[in-house]
Amino acid sequence: MNRYFYYLLILNMLVNVFLYVPNILLRERFEGAVLAIPIGVLIGTTLLFLFTISINKFKGVGLPELLEATPKWFRFIFVLFFSGMWFIAGAISLLAFNNVTIRFINPEISDVNMITVFAIFIVLLLVRIPSDRLLYTLEIILVLNLPLIGLVMYQAYSHDYLSIYSMLEVATHYKEIPSWSAIAASTFVFSGYTNLVIFYRVFKEKIRIRRLWFVPIIGFVNLVTTIFIPIGMWGADGIGDLTYPWIATADTLQIEFGPVERVVTMFILLYVSISMISVAVHWHVAFETLKSTFHIKLKSERIKKRLDWIILGSFALCVYILELNLKQNDIFVFGENWLNFRLPCEVFLVLLMIGLSKKVKQ
């Protein structure tokens, strides 16, 4: 089951293209984004290893079961708060790729109607499949998509108009102190491990720490690619004029003898599928966290099923209201604020896991 841990990490690294990370780093390309990359790798890797070492002390349980060792008031507040954080993680992904879908695939469809279709599809998926089957679905999507994403990256790196000088111009600003937003965006690339708070229930063996040595390397390459490829394509100054830098970059690529010549078409379809499974994973964590708390006192299966529909229906209703009230700029601000607030919450989660692991040891 260890490979599914890597899938969760890779999923988070891939989905950051739509999750405002490129916009934040490119906006601050002259003001600390370059230094934010190694700082983000250091912080993200440290949190990843501490969390993994702590959760390895347990077997076949998730965070809701571990919280039984804490006071009831703390457990209730913690579950409500962090399930909300995971719900928002999925919601901002859904808002982002819904906006992209409307703009670049079919502008004639209403934003609200499209996001309603996406939300209903995810709700129907989550209400029917357990954690292990969702991981199998994630594996299938990644196996199908990763070769095509690798092809897109190859086309970008080998493009004739990729300007090394533009990238070096931005790299010379490595001494600039990064902002909190840039650091928070950089660390998000490694945050896929937090989904283990639920998915660790289906892991039958411990995660081998020694095999995680390549994660910081992949994360660093991911961040460097995220910021420097669009800069190389559009220039150090020109990249600041783009709302969707990676979609614009993909639109400059083409596969001359491929079945689909314009890479942007394939790129958008790939990342819609990646974003959909990312929303499903985050909402599944939020859903299972809430469900495990409320189901403790419920014995009737019929009532449990109704509660499942109520929780997931609330998710869909909330994202519908967000889409109804947020414009494009509001969505970017909302996503950035969530990324900024996520980092201290993630640190608290890791510290809590360390505390619970020491308590079990005693």
Domains of the chain (ranges; CATH) run 2-361 (1.20.1740)
Distance between CA 23 and CA 31 in Å, rounded?
13
Residuewise pLDDT in 10s, the chain (362 residues): 578 899 999 999 998 876 788 989 999 999 989 999 999 999 999 999 999 999 988 877 888 888 887 888 888 888 889 999 999 999 998 988 888 888 877 777 888 888 888 899 999 989 888 888 999 999 999 999 998 888 888 888 888 888 899 999 999 999 899 999 999 999 999 999 999 999 988 888 888 888 888 899 999 999 999 999 999 999 888 888 888 888 888 888 877 665 666 777 888 888 888 989 999 999 999 998 888 776 555 556 677 778 888 888 999 999 999 888 888 788 888 989 999 999 999 999 999 999 888 876 55
Q: Under 8 Å CB-to-CB from 33, ≥6 apart: which residues?
A: 24, 25, 26, 27, 170, 178, 182, 227
pTM of the model: 0.93
Beta-carbon contacts of 26 under 8 Å, excluding residues fewer than 6 positions away, are 33, 227, 230, 231, 239, 240, 245
* SS3 annotation, 174-210: CCCCCCHHHHHHHHHHHHHHHHHHHHHHHCCCCCCHH
pLDDT score, position 48: 94
Quickly count: other Cβ atoms within 10 Å of residue 237's Cβ: 12
Cβ-proximal residues to 81 (8 Å cutoff; 6+ apart), any chain = none
